[in-house]
A and B are shown apart, each in its own frame.
Chain A
């Protein structure tokens, strides 16, 4: 069974890019265009990993991460934040919210795939 990855980003191009890469790498991908959808999907489907953009409408990446960590099934899944923010405080904030890793935009799809793979411990 293929691992299920939730990808959330408000930019559909990036969403499509990530989805393409991950599907090529053999993942099943759930995509969400905003934080709220991402949270709903994650709570409903309990993905194996979540890739969350930080700056999203309605709920940002930090908030989604924080809420996912509050619920049983998703408290343990690896969460990688995608962010255009590279300042130290931003990174710290991500980790405080419960993220496992972060990838700065722009990123190389190849590199992203490697990070995902690493996070899933495969």
Chain B
């Protein structure tokens, strides 16, 4: 091949080119814009002209008449019009014409062509239609006179008078030159400006262009250099080749003259050919070039039977480097086998290393011809056999078809093949290769085309030149093949398809042997196709089977009859049953199936399966397997012996999980056994109330056997008077669907009654409908009897308990009384029914409750009773009773404590006697202890008292000082004023100061009282005791109070009997008397009485102060001697007082070891009575006169 280098063309001057192009583009743009602008200007000018013309027409219209348009105007009228238009013909307006509607010029200011009619003046029509028509012309183009210049004609319609229809047309000529000048004036600056703008743009663009083009140029230059280098290299190589081929040709011409085939091959596996002389083509049909171009050529054309042998011989020689000769067959291009004699020499280089093999081939076929015919048959068969094997191996239908096509093609040396397969009454192209690749899916009917005919005749059919064949199908006119052959594919006798092959090369035809081979091949292919079809059917069937197996609820298996139950197959369901994946069991891969069978069942399984096999029958057995999670699972296995053609025995079967069913069955069995073993009579009846079941318990209870009662009505057992009751209950059970209980009497077989407690329940079917009734009956005859006995016994005990003297009781664990005998009423005052329902604690004195509760809970803990415990209880009347309690625990059947029973005895008298004695002893002991303690405390107490004394003293001193000091000033100054020390006083002043004086005195008195009380309370009241005549003290007090009494008109008397001297503090006793007397006066209304009486009574002196006052309410008397207490009446009547007087009086009396009492009646008066002890050595005073 010659490769011409790219022309080393000079790179174009890109810069220049771009510059020129852009310049041209810019100039063109300039021209275009200029043209547009000019056009616009011209249009504007024209419009101006048209407007000018219209205005002229408007201006001269009034001077025009219809007659001016009727025809050429008269000379007179012409003169008139000339005058009219004279004024208009100024400036650029150079001529005016009038036209009639009939295109006749009726007037012209230059007087030319008036009266002429111009047929081609179409502008007139335009103007008459209402528009202005314009036109560029020369002045005299339509006739005229004078200078002929370029002008613009404007035709304008003229309206005369009121008419709306143009009477004619006015034509105005306007000189073009001024218009053009105006346009020029407008356009020139624009053109110049635009030009400049574009120039600037160009100037800006140019450097960019330069840059771009320079880059392109550089690249171009690089490519160019590369191309020239390449061209040079190629040139050299070509020259070298020429030199080589020159030498070679000399040898070759020599070799190629010889009457044998010369060759040179490499020393490789396939003996690939370096050189082959052209004579080879005569020998085997392949050109020398074909031999050399395919490295595998030698191997490929070797006859298959000779191939291995020949190649082995070659390889050996190549290794040893020794020459050898061998005979073998080659397959010619046309399929013939050519026997050749091959003389091989190994060429070596100078160092003796093998370089290549060379040799010559001689066709020895003629010698072999006879043998060859024989062998051809063998070869053919061999090929077919080989093909058949290939085909048989392929089970996938589509792949098989491809293989058939390829194999058939190889048999006759073509790649253009097709296979038709029958589909109903048509043949369909199932596969096409080479030229037929596009025909897949094409259909033909019987008799149509080549394949249709082959089908019809069921015979091979070959056509040498398809294009010339009369049966050619439409659409195959330009088919790229010439010779075609079709052979039928048969299944038994029926044609199931057609195998077709074609040769593309003209002249290549199918000969008879080829057709025969193809026919045989077709037969094999048919078999293979059938086999594939069967296989795919089997596979579909197997898939169905597989899905069936995997969907069966149990595990399907096939296993060997051995100790392990080796699984050949077991479906995945085994995983859900056993927890182990199915694959574990296949061929005992991980574990054997026997290993998961429960050890207790393994032997039985072996035995039963063995038995079934010996008897050649199926088996069904249940056993346990140990699941992966350790649970035991019940399975049902059904199996059957299966024997394969190879006489090996297998088990086919299925394993189902029946754990649940088994559990249900066990449950049912358990229930049944419970029912059967129950001591209760358990029976059932259908809705017709006839017995349907009858257990052993029922038989024992009623004496009838199950057979005897079967189907009998249930009334069989009922005494007549009990039937109604039972039927009503049963009706409720059935209709209201509920459980009912009934305790009744039933007859026994052979007479006798039995007490039965029945529980009736409805029986439902699976849909929940009640279909019968069950009855559970318990024999309560014994219980009834026992109950009666208990009742009798209880009555006996009750009468005993109820008549006993002791309190007999029962209580539960919470000490709540559940029983009490009547004795409780005698002991505690409550009736038995009042005690029952009360707790024990409620009856116990409050302070003992906690202790008793503790003790009781301890007893409860130990489940024990108590004995001889004395408890203090409250009698209903509130008094305390001592009860001696004894109790025993009450236990239930389980030994749990449920309460106590016991008796209580009243031991109050005994206890009290004991208590008295103890109290006396205790008191004595206590007194002794107290005395000792007092002794001990005395010293410390004295000390403390002294300290208190001191504090008290200080307090009192402080208070008296602080209160008395201001009082000193008040009273002192008041006195000064009253004494007149500050001048004489008016009566009012004196009176007012009297009030101040009196109140300050009250205040002083109060302070004194308070201090006195404070002293008393501090124990600081020190009495200056001496023998005292109470009568004289009383007399003094009465006299002191007399003015006060008189002021209120109160009668104040004193009665003094013979009173011995008392031991007393005179000042204090006087204070006492003063208090009592002034109090009495204070609380006695005007004109009342106050009587003071002193007398002796036994060893006491009695002082009484009686008033006739308002009295003291009884409820207040007890508070009377408290500090600051004031009676309600005193408060109501606003009687002054501090409520300290009586408290002080009592303190004084107490200090003298006397007693003060009060007796009062509301409304009638009060009497204070003071009793004072007499002086120890006192005697009655000698004087016994009665005082005044």
- Residue numbers of A with Cβ under 8 A of B are 11, 13-14, 17, 20-21, 24, 55, 84-90, 104-110
A17→B960 contact, CB < 8 A:
no
B981 at the interface (CB under 8 A from A): yes
A81 to chain B, nearest CB (A): 13
A90→B981 contact, CB < 8 A:
no
Task: Show 22 residue pairs from A and B whose CB-CB distance is below 8 angstroms, ordered by the A residue.
Answer: A11-B969, A14-B965, A14-B968, A17-B968, A17-B969, A17-B973, A20-B976, A21-B972, A21-B981, A55-B961, A84-B957, A84-B961, A85-B957, A88-B1022, A89-B953, A105-B965, A106-B970, A106-B971, A106-B972, A107-B968, A107-B971, A107-B972
Name the interface residues of B951-998: CB closer than 8 Å to any CB of A: 953, 956-957, 960-965, 967-973, 975-976, 979, 981
B972→A84 contact, CB < 8 A:
no
B960→A84 contact, CB < 8 A:
yes
Chain B residues in 8 Å Cβ range of A104: 964
A11→B965 contact, CB < 8 A:
yes
Partner of A85, one of B961, B972, B975, B1004: B961
B967→A105 contact, CB < 8 A:
yes
A21→B976 contact, CB < 8 A:
yes
Residue from A14, A84, A110 whose CB has the most chain B CB atoms within 10 Å: A84
B1015 at the interface (CB under 8 A from A): yes
A62 to chain B, nearest CB (A): 12
Cα A93 to Cα B961 with chains together (Å): 16
Chain B residues in 8 Å Cβ range of A14: 965, 968-969, 972
Chain B residues in 8 Å Cβ range of A17: 968-969, 972-973, 976
B62 to chain A, nearest CB (A): 141
A109→B969 contact, CB < 8 A:
no
B134 to chain A, nearest CB (A): 142
Name the interface residues of B992-1021: CB closer than 8 Å to any CB of A: 1000, 1004, 1011, 1015, 1020
Chain A residues in 8 Å Cβ range of B1020: 87
Cα A105 to Cα B968 with chains together (Å): 6
Given A20-B976, A109-B972, A110-B979, are A87 and B965 also a contact pair (CB < 8 Å)? no
Chain B contact-residue range equals 20 to 34
Cα A11 to Cα B975 with chains together (Å): 18
Chain A residues in 8 Å Cβ range of B1022: 88
Residue from B956, B957, B1020 whose CB has the most chain A CB atoms within 10 Å: B957
- Interface membership of chain B positions 366-408, coded 1 if the CB is closer than 8 angstroms to chain A and 0 otherwise: 0000000000000000000000000000000000000000000
In the complex, residue of chain B having the shortest beta-carbon distance to the beta carbon of A18: B972
Chain B residues in 8 Å Cβ range of A105: 961, 964-965, 967-968
Chain A residues in 8 Å Cβ range of B953: 87, 89
Chain B residues in 8 Å Cβ range of A107: 968, 971-972
Cα A17 to Cα B981 with chains together (Å): 11
Given A55-B961, A90-B957, are A108 and B975 also a contact pair (CB < 8 Å)? yes
In the complex, residue of chain A having the shortest beta-carbon distance to the beta carbon of B958: A55
Cα A20 to Cα B975 with chains together (Å): 12
Cα A120 to Cα B1000 with chains together (Å): 31
- Residue numbers of B with Cβ under 8 A of A are 953, 956-957, 960-965, 967-973, 975-976, 979, 981, 1000, 1004, 1011, 1015, 1020, 1022
A101 to chain B, nearest CB (A): 17
Given A11-B969, A17-B973, A20-B976, are A106 and B1015 also a contact pair (CB < 8 Å)? no
Chain B residues in 8 Å Cβ range of A21: 972, 976, 981
Cα A87 to Cα B961 with chains together (Å): 12
A106→B976 contact, CB < 8 A:
no
Chain B residues in 8 Å Cβ range of A87: 953, 956-957, 1015, 1020
B969→A86 contact, CB < 8 A:
no
Cα A11 to Cα B962 with chains together (Å): 11
B364 to chain A, nearest CB (A): 173
Chain A residues in 8 Å Cβ range of B1004: 106
Chain B residues in 8 Å Cβ range of A106: 964, 967-968, 970-972, 1000, 1004
Chain B residues in 8 Å Cβ range of A11: 965, 968-969
Cα A86 to Cα B1000 with chains together (Å): 18
Cα A90 to Cα B960 with chains together (Å): 12
Cα A24 to Cα B975 with chains together (Å): 14
Cα A89 to Cα B975 with chains together (Å): 30
Partner of B960, one of A13, A24, A86, A89: A86
Chain A residues in 8 Å Cβ range of B971: 106-108
Chain A residues in 8 Å Cβ range of B972: 14, 17, 21, 106-109
Chain A residues in 8 Å Cβ range of B973: 13, 17
Given A90-B957, A106-B1004, are A84 and B965 also a contact pair (CB < 8 Å)? yes
Cα A88 to Cα B973 with chains together (Å): 28
Known contacts A17-B969, A106-B964; 13 further A-B pairs (Cβ under 8 A): A13-B973, A17-B968, A20-B976, A21-B981, A84-B963, A87-B953, A87-B957, A87-B1015, A89-B953, A106-B971, A106-B1000, A106-B1004, A109-B976
Chain A residues in 8 Å Cβ range of B975: 108-110
Chain B residues in 8 Å Cβ range of A86: 960, 1011
B779 to chain A, nearest CB (A): 106
Residue from B957, B972, B979, B1011 whose CB has the most chain A CB atoms within 10 Å: B972
B798 to chain A, nearest CB (A): 84
Cα A107 to Cα B979 with chains together (Å): 15
Residue from B968, B1011, B1015 whose CB has the most chain A CB atoms within 10 Å: B968
B1012 to chain A, nearest CB (A): 10
In the complex, residue of chain A having the shortest beta-carbon distance to the beta carbon of B1003: A106
A110 to chain B, nearest CB (A): 6
Chain B residues in 8 Å Cβ range of A90: 957
In the complex, residue of chain A having the shortest beta-carbon distance to the beta carbon of B971: A106
Chain A residues in 8 Å Cβ range of B976: 17, 20-21, 109
In the complex, residue of chain B having the shortest beta-carbon distance to the beta carbon of A112: B972
Cα A100 to Cα B927 with chains together (Å): 53
Chain A residues in 8 Å Cβ range of B964: 84, 104-106
Chain B residues in 8 Å Cβ range of A88: 1022
A9 to chain B, nearest CB (A): 9
A32 to chain B, nearest CB (A): 16
Cα A84 to Cα B964 with chains together (Å): 6
Chain A residues in 8 Å Cβ range of B957: 55, 84-85, 87, 90
B965→A85 contact, CB < 8 A:
no
In the complex, residue of chain A having the shortest beta-carbon distance to the beta carbon of B978: A110
Chain B residues in 8 Å Cβ range of A20: 976, 981
B635 to chain A, nearest CB (A): 120
A75 to chain B, nearest CB (A): 28
In the complex, residue of chain A having the shortest beta-carbon distance to the beta carbon of B1024: A88
Chain B residues in 8 Å Cβ range of A108: 971-972, 975
In the complex, residue of chain B having the shortest beta-carbon distance to the beta carbon of A21: B976
B1022 to chain A, nearest CB (A): 7
B95 to chain A, nearest CB (A): 150
Residue from A11, A89, A105 whose CB has the most chain B CB atoms within 10 Å: A105
A85 to chain B, nearest CB (A): 5
In the complex, residue of chain A having the shortest beta-carbon distance to the beta carbon of B982: A20
A8 to chain B, nearest CB (A): 14
Cα A51 to Cα B1015 with chains together (Å): 28
In the complex, residue of chain B having the shortest beta-carbon distance to the beta carbon of A53: B965
Chain A residues in 8 Å Cβ range of B1011: 86
Cα A108 to Cα B969 with chains together (Å): 10
Cα A89 to Cα B963 with chains together (Å): 19
B713 to chain A, nearest CB (A): 121
In the complex, residue of chain A having the shortest beta-carbon distance to the beta carbon of B1011: A86
A56 to chain B, nearest CB (A): 11
Give the top 7 A-B pairs by smallest Cβ distance, nearest first: A84-B964, A106-B968, A84-B961, A13-B969, A105-B964, A17-B972, A105-B968
Cα A12 to Cα B947 with chains together (Å): 34
A85→B960 contact, CB < 8 A:
yes
In the complex, residue of chain A having the shortest beta-carbon distance to the beta carbon of B979: A110
Cα A104 to Cα B1004 with chains together (Å): 12
Chain A residues in 8 Å Cβ range of B969: 11, 13-14, 17
Cα A90 to Cα B956 with chains together (Å): 11
Chain B residues in 8 Å Cβ range of A13: 969, 973
In the complex, residue of chain B having the shortest beta-carbon distance to the beta carbon of A55: B961
A24→B981 contact, CB < 8 A:
yes
